[in-house]
Amino acid sequence: MADLKEQEKSLKMKTLTELTGKAKYSYAMLSFVFVVTLTLILYLVPDYYFLEKMTKETVYQILEIYQFPIEDGGYYLEFDTDKTFFVIFTRVFSSLDGHGGETPVIRSTDLAAYRQFAVVRACTGMQAGALLLALIIVTPADSKKKIKATIYSLIALIIGNFLRIALVIGMTITIQASYGADSAAAWFWAHDVLGKPIGFFGTIFFAIIIERQGVPILNTVSLWIDSFIDLLKMITDKIKKLAR
């Protein structure tokens, strides 16, 4: 019975890459909308404050091991009396006001590199985490494999994110203190130039972990790309016909 179920799941996964016509485009559109919607829900709705605090505490300990000049900055207080839709909408995405304005902070004590590092929702790694979870859910696979892929990928994501943030903060302090860069320039080189590529390749690494658990999320992504290319070709052909 178990072998039969595995065969059925394997057939579904194979069929996913062989869909054609309306079935292909319908599945591509529905699965894409589902993943986008679920990603936003998983990222915005749950309270990840415990992850913010855990991230701050773990990163603080990592930086202490390497003897960086830091201290526990307590909480960053962000209050704004403006109640306009734009301000409220911005708060939701920044998460600076998600808990009465209290956000965990690590502070550099080096006079040449003094600054505060607020650990907001985006620092928890759950942007990528929510996307990967949504992809796991929408991709046809055995439920046990999905659960296993979810557990492994989240563990890897959280540990990797701790190391990424510690590296970014450490690099920011080092660039300021050792090379005399101003705060904005040091943050740009450490967070944007160094941190973003790490996040990008890290996401690929997590996707490989999921794939190895028997959940082919890349098949789903490939189907989206293929359907999008087909749509562009169709639009291009129609434009050419109208131009004749």
Going edge to edge, which strands form the sheet with 70-77? 70-77, 102-108, 115-118
Average pLDDT over residues 204-215: 93
Please report the beta strands in the chain, taking only residues with DSSP state E, as ranges in sequence order.
70-77, 102-108, 115-118
Work out the burial of residue 33: count CB atoms within 10 Å of its CB; fewer than 13 is exposed, 13-18 middle, 19 or more buried: exposed
pLDDT of the residue at 121: 84
Cβ pair 169, 63 in contact under 8 A: yes
Q: Cα dihedral angle (128, 130, 133, 138), rounded to 10 degrees? A: -110
pTM for the whole structure: 0.80
What are the Cα distances from residue 25, in Å, to 13, 30, 101, 194, 229? 16, 8, 44, 38, 11
> Computed over its alpha carbons, how large is the radius of gyration of the chain?
22
pLDDT of the residue at 213: 94
Point out the least confidently predicted range of 17-31, 106-120, 146-160: 17-31
Cβ pair 51, 128 in contact under 8 A: no
pLDDT of 34 over the 80 cut: yes
pLDDT of 239 over the 60 cut: yes
pLDDT of the residue at 96: 44
pLDDT of the residue at 11: 44
CA-nearest of 40, 60, 23 to 121 is: 40
What are the Cα distances from residue 153, in Å, to 51, 70, 191, 234? 16, 30, 23, 37
What are the Cα distances from residue 50, in Å, to 15, 105, 120, 123, 215? 41, 14, 11, 12, 28
Which is it for strands 70-77 and 102-108: parallel, antiparallel or unpaired? antiparallel
Give 216's contacts (C-beta < 8 A, 6+ positions apart): 13, 16, 139, 141
